[in-house]
Amino acid sequence: MDFNEDDLTVRDWRHRLQRTFLNDRRPPKAEDMPAMDALFKAVENYERMSSQSLKMSKIDKVLLHIAAKDDLPRDDEFHFRERAQNLIQKWQPLLLEIQEAKVAKLQRLTSAATDSTSEAGHAERRDAVNVDVGPNDTTPSCHDSAPAPVLPADPQTSDLHAMPTIGQSSDTTPSTSPTTERITIEVCIDSVESAIAAVRGGADRLELCGNLALGGGTTPSIGLFKAVRVAAPQGLPIMVMIRPRTGDFLYTDAEHRVMREDIKAFKEAGADGVVLGILQKDGKIDVARTKTGQASTAPSPSALPHLRLLLRTASRMPSFAKVLVGSGVNAQTVGPLLAELLPCGLREVHLSAGGWTPSEMEFRREGMGMGVGREGEWAIWRTSEQKVREVRELVDKAWLEYVEREKAQ
């Protein structure tokens, strides 16, 4: 890529912002803020911003971090966080161009593979649901079809039906042929900082939770949702976990009322959908309470040992449902996972990519803790940008190889 004078100007702005606001060795100083105010004004008044300058400089990424910082000196005077958010919103059409350009390369390969796939091939694989994990396993393979049982008539609608849940789609003709531009990666997060890290690492969708490290997460606050919505790129889907407490998924009437109220609140706040699980005592889906009229997926304690069961269950779902595989997905497990399940139609994966990071708290009274225990006692749970990026690169590589194989057949 050839850089012009405008590109270099924007890159210089990015470096100056990063050195002042995001320098680990030298926190931002109050006396530096008037100069940063002048720099922000130059960026705000700049009328020649292009997608090439944004792609080359990544100034939008620096502004995302600035918008998420809560300790900026003199921010009540200069409003740097708000201005950073406004600039990101202003550049959304250009940022979308960048994303579309990235997708275009994959789409060219995908369209070629799709054109070469006959309708008979589509029909043969439409019911592909089971995974053959080895020669000693008697489970039917991906290319064995299973009859779908008759589903119950449309259940009555309710507030739980008002928003989509994970896996819901308007697609009514599923196929295992490569008709999507890339594999969707969903990352569950519980802070603005983790949301930014997930997006920078390559997440396509966020699942917003509260207290992820404590029992798998609970319903987040409306305040956290609004802050993440501002920090995330415009148009990035944000699904919200609806779980009133940790523990099992057998809820009382009172807890169910809480869930209904939370769903209403997040719908009004602009959430793209909700993530929930409601079970009966015997572990089966509580259809009467869920009442989505769509496929629901019960939580699974681990991913790999239950994939065949999961995919067999998926064969009995309505045609618009999608399977989102998670639990234990990381750079070490995603390769074998995709090798087995891409031919079966898997197109989405879910991970947290999280871990404990040391707290900057200096006051730590001996014998007193935060009630978390072990490494999390004086630490903060955060999503790792690097872990997400590692999975993103492996997933994209596996997808391209799969598309090429499909083209060759």
Residues 6+ apart with CB under 8 A from 59: 10, 11, 13, 14, 17, 43, 53
| CA nearest neighbour of 176 among 150, 203, 141 | 141
Chain centroid to CA 237 = 8
**pLDDT tens across the length of the chain (409 residues):** 567 899 999 999 999 999 999 988 889 999 999 999 999 999 999 999 999 999 999 999 899 889 878 789 999 999 998 999 899 889 988 887 887 776 665 556 555 544 544 443 333 333 333 333 333 333 334 544 333 323 333 333 333 333 433 333 333 334 455 555 789 999 999 999 999 999 999 999 999 999 888 888 999 999 999 999 988 888 899 999 999 999 999 999 899 889 989 999 998 898 988 888 888 899 888 877 776 423 333 333 333 333 334 544 444 444 445 677 777 888 888 888 888 888 878 889 999 998 888 877 777 777 666 656 566 567 888 999 999 999 999 999 999 988 888 888 7
Residue 83 placed within a domain: yes
221 and 136 together in one domain:
yes
Whether 106 maps to a domain, the answer reads no
User: Are 22 and 134 in a shared domain?
Assistant: no
Q: What residues does 351 pair with on adjacent strands?
A: 187
Instruction: Establish if 110 belongs to a structural domain.
Output: no
The token pair at 334 is 């995603």
Q: Is residue 40 located within the same domain as residue 130?
A: no
What sign does the CA torsion over 48, 50, 54, 57 have? Answer: negative
Q: Which residue has the tokens 């070629």?
A: 112
Which are the contacts of 379, defined by CB distance < 8 A and separation ≥ 6? 356, 357, 358, 359, 372
Rounded distance between C-alpha atoms, residue 318 and residue 330, angstroms: 29
Domain range for residue 83?
5-90
Residues 385 and 306 in one domain: yes
Quote the number of domains for the chain. Answer: 2
H/E stretch holding 122 reads: helix 119-126
CA-based torsion, 136, 142, 144, 146: positive or negative: positive
Q: Are residues 133 and 256 in the same domain?
A: yes
- Separation of alpha carbons 157 and 342, rounded Å: 34
Same domain, 295 and 212: yes
